[in-house]
A and B are shown apart, each in its own frame.
Chain A
Amino acid sequence: MGWFSRLRNTLRSGALQREVDEELRLHLELRAQDLQRNGMNPTDAQFSATRQFGNPTLEAERTRIMDMSAWMETILKDMRYALRQFARNPVFTGVAVLSLAIGIGANTAIFSVMNAALLKSLPVTDPQRLVMLTNPSASGVSIGMSGDERPLLSYAEYEQLREHMTTLSGLCAVESQLDRWQVRINGGAQEDIRGHLVSENYFSVLGVEPVMGRLFSAEDRKAPGQDPQAVISYEYWQKRFGGNTSVIGTPLRVFSTTLTIVGVTPPGFRGETVGQSPNVWIPMMMQPMVLPGRDWLHEDLSKQMEKVMWLHAVGRLKPGVTLANAQTEADVLFRNIIETGYPSTLSPETRKAVLNQRLKLHEASTGAFQSREDFAQQLFILLSMSAVVLLIACANIANLLLARATARYKEVGVRLSIGASRVRVIRQFLTESLLLSLLGGIAGLFVAMGAARLLIIQLTQTSQNFSLSTDLDWRVLGFTLGMTLLTGLIFGLAPAIRGTRVNINESLRESGRGYTGSGAKLNLAKGLVIVQVGLSLLVVVGAGLFLRTLWNLQSVDLGYPKENLVLLSVDAGSAGYKQPQLPGFWHDVSDRVQAVPGVRGVTYSINGIFSGGESGDRIEVEGFTPTKDNERGSRFDLIGPSYFATVGIPLLRGREFGSHDTATSTHVCVVNEAFVKRFFSGRDPIGLHVTEKFGDHKNVMEVVGIAKNARDHSLRGDIPPRFYAPYEQFMDGTPDSGAMIVRAVGDPEQVLASVRKAILSLNENIPLDEAHPLVVSLERTTAQPRMIAHLCTAFGLIALLLAATGLYGVLSYGVACRTNEIGIRMALGAGRGQVVTMILRETGLVVAIGVAIGIGLTAAGSRLVASKLYGLSALDPITVAEGVIILGVVALAAGYIPAARASRVNPVKALRHE
């Protein structure tokens, strides 16, 4: 019976029991038949047969135990033997376990982040039944209308859906972006708190129960401002209140409203969006109080063209209802909502665009996640890289084991000659490998816990509010175990098979050197090193590509000097400013900031620079007939006087805006080069007109200037057409929020502090949460490529180190085997240089084949990374050449030591050695 069938026996002991029972029953029957043949009557014969046999049940049991225990016992014996081997070779064991721990640890760390962010279900009741009516990767507040798929909903639209969806047992709404509030807790000093406005039924739809106090529910929904409660998260309760039960009833002052903390959510619950981790949830009815100056709850659906789209809608499917059923219902309902939800006076063209909006339902068991695809893609790249590093480590360990198998040549010979089967010895070898990988896996778990934390810190830099917590759940442990066993098999199998191919007679010959049969083994070892070199090239080139991408991104010319530029986002609406005051407000702010020492210039922009928000509208250009869809719209920015001078964007022609460009003067705009190229090819744009359209609103502007192309939101891709208009001339009036852009002299951080003070001196209630130098925003834009570049560089270094040790080991071993030959060559007159050349030529051959394989692998893997690169192709010749050179230098270094050793062989000693 084979090894496998024994395992099968253990697992399927029911079948085994039947087989044993059948075997014993046959015995008793045959015995009884014989007795009958000798003249006994059937009853007595049966009785006698049984008596002679003993207790059949007991014997059947003993028989079965034999089948299983023998197997268990050999395993234990093999394991004891393996552990003795490890103890005898502490250096080998240490090196192997350490490299496995790094390899498995890196993979586990990345997988645990992947698990926490992408695979794990929300810790709510029956998460499989959750659906999102909005796009799980959308976030923010957008005002206007959407194209095809509606990413977010307005409150009025949500209410309609909640009232009418019959396929859902509940539908809740939650703010898609994380708010930051300045609050006073229990009358204390101002502090930062992050949270979401959520519909009152939020917790009941998700199925979350409080650990303490109570959670608000649909009954609490009365009228705006009537529900001053707050629920806090378990983590926040622990961190801010030390887990004190007296937290219930604590007052929380936000702007001019006081909320009362009524409950705490269970540990592990971090809301519906992965990576956001709100501290607090506030009932939707409190929106006008906690986001003052905006009324997003009341919306006259039929009159407003511009919807405030800011909510995610999460629903729970009724039992037996499929996602498709709900989609069908949502299609009909939403069509109805938008058909009646827009002004009846729209032109046919606008109406068509409006009716084009649709809802797409998404399965939501793992929750919402901003830019999920992108995140998954980068983690997948990292996971692939770390898997390759683990493979390289495997090749190293396989080589070490192979060398040891050679050392154990005689031992294996003895074991085979005294009757051990080859399979039995292979099993012994494999037990050793698996035990080794298991040790590596356990050590790897510890490495992973540290590495996952580092990885999350890196990830946090890609977005300010990102937070994630990983834990070792069954999925991560299963991944690690699977990977550990697979690793053990990968590095253990070849040495086990090769190591047991032993010529018994030869191995037992007293004088046998044990090296004679090693030519084939050396070839296998070389094969492994070639694979290592190939895989290392893949990782090194990968690291090179990402480093270059980072470098390219960091050296992109923005079109203006990025140093000493400071941005503050100013929210006048929250501070209570209304339309007629706003133009004056922005003038006042500019004046105050201008007076701050160290400020060379100040201006306004509604979107700021590299802030993550952009505006776009449909346009018509005088004398231009659009043929393609991208010729019907343009991005735009609303800016203040002296914007171009402050930011440093050169004007190629015309003028920029001044304080004389008011709401009542002629409406004007400045366009960029890309705009001129697309819409005015060959014509002089100055004096021509651009019409911005939204719904049936129009704003006709005269072009008064042309600005040089500048990068204000993205480092990648072509600069799109853009027009700039004075903020006071916007068709909805002066905006109530935006960014103050300051050109500073000297230390930007210091100037920033003074500017902040100057703005607050105007009104201390103005929230100024986003204020930092432009270079900080730019760093955030490049945080993701930086993270990939840094991690890949680390992987590349580990890969090089592993490949170098592998190469060194194999070449040293080769030199040791050939001491004789080298001795003879030198005795016959070969010089040291010739010997060195001979060994290095061997190195060169191994590296050359490895590099060829590596280039093939890189070409195959290039598709995976292409979308993450910037300014170079995935098979960038310079990067590949660099990788080959680095690998070559490392290989030469690794090969030189054994070569030098070979050249120092003393011919006399070498020959006497024989």
Chain B
Amino acid sequence: MGKHPNDRLQGTLDLLVLKSLAGHGPMHGYGITVHIQSIAGDALRVEEGSLYPALHRMAQEGWIKAQWGSTENNRRARFYSITASGQKQLAAEEKRWSDLTQAVARVLQMA
């Protein structure tokens, strides 16, 4: 992928989406938003507009796959689920995230 100024933040969104899909199973875009917010509360706000480009990008990378299905109200919706390669990516992202937070935590403690 090309370089984005908010690469780190994007990585965070990817991580959250992948984790949610890994934990909860297939969801549509709105479902993912609600899922993340219900767990994280108001502290973390998913940029709803950025979610869809991110979902489509991840689908291109082969981390998640999209399928048309219907909601409980019988509305047509696109459901996303995590792939094997997405699982690998999730593991890598998680590792990176914990490295990062640990590093930040160490700096906060020591400084």
Whether B30 contacts A67 by the Cβ 8 Å rule is no
Q: Which A residues contact B (CB, under 8 angstroms)?
A: 1, 6, 19-20, 22-24, 26-27, 29-31, 34, 52-56, 58-60, 62-67, 70-71, 73-74, 419, 421, 424
A67-B56, A73-B2, A424-B62 known; A27+B88 contact, CB < 8 A: no
B75 is an interface residue with CB less than 8 A from chain A: yes
A54-B48, A421-B62, A421-B85 known; A66+B28 contact, CB < 8 A: no
Whether A26 contacts B77 by the Cβ 8 Å rule is yes
The chain B residue with its CB closest to the CB of A28 is: B30
Whether B29 contacts A27 by the Cβ 8 Å rule is yes
- Cα–Cα distance between A24 and B55 once the two chains are bound (Å): 12
CB distance from B2 to the nearest CB of A (A): 7
Whether B60 contacts A70 by the Cβ 8 Å rule is yes
B78 is an interface residue with CB less than 8 A from chain A: yes
How many A-B contacts if CB must be within 8 Å? 80
Q: Which residues of A contact B2 (CB under 8 A)?
A: 73
Whether B30 contacts A58 by the Cβ 8 Å rule is no
15 contacts between A and B (CB under 8 A): A1-B65, A23-B78, A26-B75, A27-B29, A27-B33, A63-B53, A66-B54, A66-B57, A66-B60, A70-B56, A71-B60, A73-B1, A73-B2, A419-B85, A419-B89
Which B59-105 residues sit within 8 Å CB-CB of chain A? Answer: 59-62, 65-66, 71, 75-78, 85, 88-89, 92
B41 is an interface residue with CB less than 8 A from chain A: no
Q: Which residues of A contact B5 (CB under 8 A)?
A: none
- Cα–Cα distance between A54 and B46 once the two chains are bound (Å): 12
Q: Which residues of B contact A20 (CB under 8 A)?
A: 52, 56
- Cα–Cα distance between A70 and B59 once the two chains are bound (Å): 10
Closest 9 CB pairs of A and B: A54-B49, A70-B60, A66-B56, A59-B49, A62-B53, A63-B52, A66-B57, A30-B30, A27-B30
Whether A23 contacts B29 by the Cβ 8 Å rule is yes
Q: Which residues of A contact B60 (CB under 8 A)?
A: 1, 6, 66-67, 70-71, 74
Q: Which residues of A contact B52 (CB under 8 A)?
A: 20, 23-24, 27, 59-60, 62-63
- Cα–Cα distance between A354 and B75 once the two chains are bound (Å): 81
A71-B60, A419-B88, A421-B85 known; A23+B65 contact, CB < 8 A: no
Most buried by B among A26, A56, A73, A421: A26
Whether A1 contacts B66 by the Cβ 8 Å rule is yes
Q: How many residues of B contact A (CB 8 A)?
A: 32
Among B34, B48, B61, the residue within 8 A (CB) of A70 is B61
Q: Which residues of A contact B28 (CB under 8 A)?
A: 23, 26
CB distance from A795 to the nearest CB of B (A): 45
Q: Which residues of B contact A58 (CB under 8 A)?
A: 49
Q: Which residues of A contact B77 (CB under 8 A)?
A: 23, 26
CB distance from B48 to the nearest CB of A (A): 5
The chain A residue with its CB closest to the CB of B47 is: A54
What string of 1s and 0s marks CB contacts (under 8 Å) between B6-32 and chain A? 000000000000000000000011100
CB distance from A39 to the nearest CB of B (A): 18
Whether A27 contacts B66 by the Cβ 8 Å rule is no
The chain B residue with its CB closest to the CB of A24 is: B52
Q: Which B residues contact A (CB, under 8 angstroms)?
A: 1-2, 28-30, 33-34, 47-50, 52-57, 59-62, 65-66, 71, 75-78, 85, 88-89, 92
- Cα–Cα distance between A6 and B62 once the two chains are bound (Å): 12
- Cα–Cα distance between A19 and B85 once the two chains are bound (Å): 25
Q: Which residues of B contact A34 (CB under 8 A)?
A: 34
Given contacts A20-B52, A22-B76, 6 further A-B contacts (CB under 8 A): A6-B60, A26-B71, A53-B49, A65-B53, A419-B92, A424-B62
Most buried by B among A24, A34, A56: A24
Whether B53 contacts A59 by the Cβ 8 Å rule is yes
- Cα–Cα distance between A62 and B78 once the two chains are bound (Å): 17
A1-B66, A30-B30 known; A66+B53 contact, CB < 8 A: yes
- Cα–Cα distance between A63 and B50 once the two chains are bound (Å): 8
- Cα–Cα distance between A587 and B60 once the two chains are bound (Å): 92
Most buried by B among A31, A67, A70, A73: A70
Q: Which residues of A contact B62 (CB under 8 A)?
A: 421, 424
- Cα–Cα distance between A59 and B55 once the two chains are bound (Å): 12
Q: Which residues of B contact A64 (CB under 8 A)?
A: 56
- Cα–Cα distance between A53 and B88 once the two chains are bound (Å): 30
- Cα–Cα distance between A378 and B49 once the two chains are bound (Å): 65
Q: Which residues of A contact B1 (CB under 8 A)?
A: 70, 73
Q: Which residues of A contact B49 (CB under 8 A)?
A: 53-56, 58-59, 62
Whether A26 contacts B30 by the Cβ 8 Å rule is yes
Most buried by B among A20, A31, A62: A62
A30-B30, A419-B88 known; A1+B59 contact, CB < 8 A: yes
The chain B residue with its CB closest to the CB of A6 is: B60
CB distance from A16 to the nearest CB of B (A): 10
Q: Which residues of B contact A31 (CB under 8 A)?
A: 30, 48
- Cα–Cα distance between A475 and B33 once the two chains are bound (Å): 53
- Cα–Cα distance between A65 and B49 once the two chains are bound (Å): 14
Q: Which residues of B contact A6 (CB under 8 A)?
A: 60
The chain A residue with its CB closest to the CB of B60 is: A70
CB distance from B21 to the nearest CB of A (A): 16
Q: Which residues of A contact B48 (CB under 8 A)?
A: 27, 31, 52-54
A66-B60, A67-B60, A73-B2 known; A19+B78 contact, CB < 8 A: yes
Q: Which residues of B contact A52 (CB under 8 A)?
A: 48
Q: Which residues of A contact B65 (CB under 8 A)?
A: 1
CB distance from B4 to the nearest CB of A (A): 12
CB distance from B41 to the nearest CB of A (A): 16
Q: Which residues of B contact A27 (CB under 8 A)?
A: 29-30, 33, 48, 52
Q: Which residues of A contact B30 (CB under 8 A)?
A: 26-27, 30-31
- Cα–Cα distance between A55 and B57 once the two chains are bound (Å): 19
Q: Which residues of A contact B47 (CB under 8 A)?
A: 54
CB distance from A2 to the nearest CB of B (A): 10
Q: Which residues of B contact A54 (CB under 8 A)?
A: 47-49
Q: Which residues of A contact B50 (CB under 8 A)?
A: 59
Q: Which residues of A contact B53 (CB under 8 A)?
A: 59, 62-63, 65-66
Q: Which residues of B contact A421 (CB under 8 A)?
A: 62, 85
CB distance from B93 to the nearest CB of A (A): 12
Most buried by A among B47, B53, B66, B88: B53
Q: Which residues of B contact A1 (CB under 8 A)?
A: 59-60, 65-66
- Cα–Cα distance between A59 and B77 once the two chains are bound (Å): 17
- Cα–Cα distance between A65 and B2 once the two chains are bound (Å): 13
CB distance from B16 to the nearest CB of A (A): 17
The chain B residue with its CB closest to the CB of A33 is: B73
CB distance from B72 to the nearest CB of A (A): 11
The chain B residue with its CB closest to the CB of A71 is: B60
The chain B residue with its CB closest to the CB of A418 is: B88
Q: Which residues of A contact B71 (CB under 8 A)?
A: 26, 30
- Cα–Cα distance between A23 and B60 once the two chains are bound (Å): 17
Q: Which residues of A contact B33 (CB under 8 A)?
A: 27
CB distance from A307 to the nearest CB of B (A): 75
- Cα–Cα distance between A451 and B95 once the two chains are bound (Å): 61
The chain A residue with its CB closest to the CB of B45 is: A52
Q: Which residues of A contact B57 (CB under 8 A)?
A: 66, 70
- Cα–Cα distance between A63 and B54 once the two chains are bound (Å): 8
The chain B residue with its CB closest to the CB of A53 is: B48
Q: Which residues of B contact A19 (CB under 8 A)?
A: 78
CB distance from B80 to the nearest CB of A (A): 10
- Cα–Cα distance between A137 and B89 once the two chains are bound (Å): 70
Most buried by A among B47, B48, B56: B56
- Cα–Cα distance between A1 and B89 once the two chains are bound (Å): 17
Q: Which residues of A contact B61 (CB under 8 A)?
A: 70
The chain B residue with its CB closest to the CB of A29 is: B75
- Cα–Cα distance between A71 and B49 once the two chains are bound (Å): 22
- Cα–Cα distance between A216 and B66 once the two chains are bound (Å): 70
The chain A residue with its CB closest to the CB of B55 is: A63
- Cα–Cα distance between A65 and B56 once the two chains are bound (Å): 9
Q: Which residues of B contact A70 (CB under 8 A)?
A: 1, 56-57, 60-61
CB distance from A888 to the nearest CB of B (A): 51
- Cα–Cα distance between A70 and B57 once the two chains are bound (Å): 7
Q: Which residues of B contact A74 (CB under 8 A)?
A: 60
